[in-house]
Amino acid sequence: MSTTAGGYVCPECGLAYNPIAPKDTAVAIRSYPRRFAALVAPVDRDQAERPDAKIRRRPDAHTWSALEYTAHVADIFDTFTDIIRRMRIEDDPTIGFFDPDQRAAEARYNEQDPDDVLRRLQENAERLARELDQVGADDWRRTATFPWGERDLLTMARNAVHEGHHHLRDVERVLKAVR
């Protein structure tokens, strides 16, 4: 784990957790649907293949497509809404977490309609942001136990912001690779 001044910094995308203030979490979450849509929604009507083929294309067998990353973020925001709500209202809950690759396969992310994925991302981001808006000043320190250990609510809110940021970078990288 990469840290700076005691806070986590993602070694892949460079996002630092410490500068993300509680009030900034909802703002960041609300920004992601527009930012993902700017990358995923445009289609090339002049190409010979189906217009959305590029966002469904994987650069290799082990990397998701842009559409799969976007669908994952829509799902993760839905999951984080429940996590934040539970941490806010329950005392020290134990919270499980889904396997992202299993969820992607079961939900057939790459076969989903891009407009539906973007709509779900918008709805789930807004629900999560509204939940974050309800967190009181003293609630940010509330904790829950996850399969990987205990975390406080602020860390989990920052994790949600990180998911959006990290996978937005993934979408940019994948789209560049499949051009």
Q: How far apart are CA 60 and CA 97, in angstroms?
A: 26
The 10s digit of each residue's pLDDT in 84-100 is: 999 999 999 999 999 99
DSSP state of 93: -
Query: pTM here?
Result: 0.92
Task: Give percent above pLDDT 90 in the chain.
Answer: 88
Q: How far apart are CA 179 and CA 176, in angstroms?
A: 6
The 10s digit of each residue's pLDDT in 129-175 is: 999 999 999 999 999 999 999 999 999 999 999 999 999 999 999 99
The structural domains of the chain, ordered by start, are 25-177 (1.20.120.450)
Question: Phi/psi at 41 (nearest 5 deg)?
Answer: -75, -35
